[in-house]
């Protein structure tokens, strides 16, 4: 196939109108490099925010979209001994993965199990570690403890349901529409509630007045305060997104009189502060779970790179159960 890349020259409020598939010359790997053909790359909320200019880190323009994905090694440059042609590899985070061909340093690539589903492996780098770290890095949890999260039908939310169950944690899973309830239950969630002003009362009744010490918020706005109302005194709300487009709201009654804490989580900051050994351990564990079929996310649709504009339009729609991914063909 002729090489193509999804490129944008400006940022703005309609990402699908700003990005287009453009041809480019097939690159050649140099010493220590390999040529990789794209297998699959997801479209994440952070990708959309990057295109609108609202993300925490923005690449120089013009830029190629995509922050994660997997590919297949097709050519080896000189002095490359650790990889083989045909191997599936994890693409480095933030390398502009929405392109059919990439030349990358061999040392920056992680070999993946060839028998595993490339669509599931393509979603490995951002959402699964975010879910895992939200459960391990914010509050010290033990089997039997409760966790409440909103946006439970999101990719992070689905991974969190599965990882929490494996650890023996109980989850209250909050969604914003009734039509999303069933898809969360299909991932193994037993308690799924639709958000609303009486959320705290319904959570207390459903959990037997459980003392919940961690809430995970991806919505922001008034939804943050509704999660806080479900928590025991001194508990923590960890925010990692703003699907509502609004700043987190937390009432003085929760902050002052109940000692509720609000903190933020950004995976990029964890990467900066963690050791290579910690990163290797985390990804090794997640790769094993995905390869074994123990950890997965629903896929709504796949689009070829040539249809990146339509793919972005689909990814921007709110009522969607599953991830949109791009493939080379």
Out of 8, 55, 159, 303, which one is annotated catalytic?
A: 55
Distance CA 233, CA 203 (A): 15
Distance CA 240, CA 56 (A): 12
H runs (alpha helix) in the chain? 15-18, 45-52, 118-122, 127-136, 155-166, 181-185, 199-207, 222-228, 252, 267-273, 276-291, 308-316
Side-chain half-sphere exposure of 83, counting CA atoms within 13 A: 32
Helix (H) or strand (E) holding 70: strand 70-76
Catalytic residue at 55?
yes
Distance CA 289, CA 199 (A): 33
Q: Which two tokens stand for residue 148?
A: 């409440």
DSSP state of 307: G
| Catalytic residue ranges | 55
């Amino acid at each position: 196939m002729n090489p193509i890349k999804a490129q944008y020259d400006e940022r703005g409020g309609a990402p699908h109108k700003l990005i287009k598939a453009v041809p480019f010359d097939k690159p050649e790997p140099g010493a220590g490099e390999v040529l990789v053909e794209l297998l699959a790359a997801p479209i994440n909320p952070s990708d959309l925010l990057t295109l609108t200019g609202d993300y925490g880190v923005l690449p120089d323009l013009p830029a190629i979209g995509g922050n994660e994905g997997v590919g297949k090694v097709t050519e080896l440059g000189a002095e490359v001994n650790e990889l083989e042609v045909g191997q599936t590899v994890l693409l480095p985070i933030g390398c502009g993965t929405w392109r059919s061909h990439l030349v990358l340093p061999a040392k920056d690539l992680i070999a993946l199990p060839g028998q595993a589903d490339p669509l599931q492996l393509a979603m490995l780098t951002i959402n699964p570690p975010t879910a895992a770290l939200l459960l391990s890095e914010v509050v010290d949890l033990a089997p039997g403890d409760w966790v409440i999260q909103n946006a439970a039908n999101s990719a992070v939310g689905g991974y969190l349901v599965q990882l929490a169950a494996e650890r023996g944690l109980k989850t209250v899973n909050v969604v914003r529409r009734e039509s999303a309830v069933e898809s969360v239950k299909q991932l193994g969630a037993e308690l799924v509630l639709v958000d609303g002003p009486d959320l705290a009362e319904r959570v207390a009744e459903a959990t037997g007045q459980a003392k919940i010490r961690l809430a995970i918020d991806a919505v922001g706005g008034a939804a943050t305060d509704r999660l806080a109302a479900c928590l025991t005194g001194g508990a923590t709300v960890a925010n990692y997104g703003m699907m509502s487009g609004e700043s987190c709201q937390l009432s003085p009654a929760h902050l002052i009189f109940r000692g509720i804490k609000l903190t933020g989580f950004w995976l990029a900051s964890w990467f900066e502060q963690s050791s290579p050994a910690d990163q290797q351990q985390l990804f090794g564990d997640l790769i094993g779970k995905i390869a074994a079929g123990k950890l997965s996310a629903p896929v709504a649709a796949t689009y070829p790179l040539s249809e990146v504009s339509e793919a972005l339009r689909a990814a921007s729609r709110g009522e969607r159960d599953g991830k949109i991914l791009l493939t080379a063909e």
